[in-house]
Amino acid sequence: MYFIGFDIGSSSIKAALVEARTGKPLGVAIAPEKEMAMLALETGWAEQSPEEWWKYVCQASKKLIADHRIDPGQIEGIGVSYQMHGLVLLDRQGEVIRDAVIWCDSRAVAIGQKAFDDLGNSRCSEQLLNSPGNFTSSKLKWVKEHEPENYARVYKFMLPGDYIAFRLSGMMNTTISGLSEGIFWDFSKNDIASWLMDYYGLDAGLIPEIVPTFALQSEVSKRGAEEAGLQEGTPILYRAGDQPNNALSLNVFYPGEVAATGGTSGVMYAITDNLSVKESSRVNNFAHVNYTPDNKYIGKLLCINGAGIQYRWLLNNLDVNSYEEMNTLAASVPVGADGVVILPFGNGAERMLNNLQLGTRMVNINLNNHNKAHLCRAALEGIAFSFVYGMEIMKSDGVEARVIRAGNDNLFRSPIFSETIASLIDQEIEIYNTTGAIGAARACQVHRDGLEAYGRQLKKNDYVMSYKPAADKNPYMLAYQKWKNELEINIKTN
């Protein structure tokens, strides 16, 4: 018997098959072959068609089942992971009213900031644990203001994963975790933030039924089965946004556990039961997948906009052929890159730097002594230092990290990068070979067997290695302090 997981990204849809008894991953299918398009009607906008997501879910599902020659009746459960903060609008017949406003769309920034100021920074921080910001609730307000004819047709709004579950089942529902990422949830009252809805003039009746994150949320309908190649009645057992799901995929559920991602941008997602909002302007707070009114496990999310994109820029502009070659060059240079410092913040505004657009800075380069190997080392260290800097922010916001887990991809495959972070925070970094789609499939097991059994299977199937702190941390500490001093100088002068 099997579980199937879907990961609804903005570039592609992934479907993963795992063995239900052991949690062993069997395969992943991806659709489409090329990246999905985004529609940008104006600068800063980003929209996608929810019907396109569904089309590719169906393609990936059918391909996965055909490739592994399994009977759809052998699938015991479905899990869904999805791009966070999107807005999907449905009419009473379940038809999409307009294209989805997705996570990277910035049209509602001013609306969220005005709400933060009008409603009071303290109230928003203490009850929402966030500013309304550019999240789903503010995007819905934008539709009400600018497209009243569309808003008048809305029967329910949904997050992207809610929509896929609806297409599978015909049932409209959502989760507390999902509502919190859209900034609809009042953590102090454990209920819908009706006061924010009232301020925005939004009808609370537009919120779908709330179901638990791990539960029999719904079952695949006859129509959903026919279109996706599944069996009618297959249970949908799990749903979460991509960052909470990434944490789940890495067995990160409890205070002190941190999930890290080092792709084009970087993410530190730490679990805490401390409702501190000291850093709410730099850190987002969402209900984690195992949040309940009695166990308020919060996922604190810190994004580092300039991460892997810095290393990719060097790949494209140095006379090198691969990241492996760059890593070898970097390893030929000592810790601290002989004084070269790179601030890797060249990918737009950095929320953790209070939305400062600092840009990439390369300093202390001696044209007689330094070469591309120094640039490679300084880039890896600079990105790693930005993760450490982010961890310092999170520590000031009540996070006490005791373990960091990361996927076996992108930056964390570099020993220099991972060992630098491990040495400076004095914690092991555990590396696992897993993905969001696999995590979403395995999450079905949590409903059946609980979190402890899930964690044991993950360790058995996916653990790759650990990076330990260096025996001599002093060179790392000196290099980090030099980098941090340079950062603070540039913050003051910008």
Rounded Cα–Cα distance for residues 155 and 90 (Å): 6
Tokens encoding 279: 């850093």
| Same domain, residue pair 217 and 101 | yes
Domain C-terminal end among 189, 210, 245: 245
| Same domain, residue pair 275 and 217 | no
- Give the residue among 478, 444, 485 at the shortest CA–CA distance from 78: 444
| Same domain, residue pair 220 and 336 | no
| Same domain, residue pair 181 and 220 | yes
Per residue in 65-94, pLDDT (tens digit) is: 999 999 999 999 999 999 999 999 999 999
Whether residue 293 lies inside any domain: the answer is yes
pLDDT computed for residue 410 by the predictor = 82
| Same domain, residue pair 263 and 228 | no
Per residue in 353-389, pLDDT (tens digit) is: 988 989 999 999 999 999 999 999 999 999 999 999 9
Per residue in 178-234, pLDDT (tens digit) is: 999 999 999 999 999 999 999 999 999 999 999 999 999 999 999 999 999 999 999
- For range 435-459, the mean pLDDT: 90
Domain C-terminal end among 195, 228, 245: 245
Whether residue 435 lies inside any domain: the answer is no
pLDDT above 70 covers a percentage of the chain that reads 100
Whether residue 192 lies inside any domain: the answer is yes
| Same domain, residue pair 241 and 269 | no
Which pLDDT band holds residue 460 (cuts at 50, 70, 90)? confident
Report if pTM > 0.85. Answer: yes
CATH number of the domain to which 237 belongs: 3.30.420.40
Whether residue 450 lies inside any domain: the answer is no
| Same domain, residue pair 208 and 280 | no
Which pLDDT band holds residue 461 (cuts at 50, 70, 90)? confident
| Same domain, residue pair 274 and 188 | no
pLDDT computed for residue 488 by the predictor = 96
Number of domains in the chain: 2
Owning domain of residue 294? 250-428+468-494
| Same domain, residue pair 218 and 299 | no
Domain C-terminal end among 220, 245, 270: 245
Half-sphere exposure of 436 (CA within 13 A, CB side): 24
Whether residue 66 lies inside any domain: the answer is yes
| Same domain, residue pair 290 and 337 | yes
pLDDT computed for residue 378 by the predictor = 98
Whether residue 453 lies inside any domain: the answer is no
| Same domain, residue pair 396 and 379 | yes
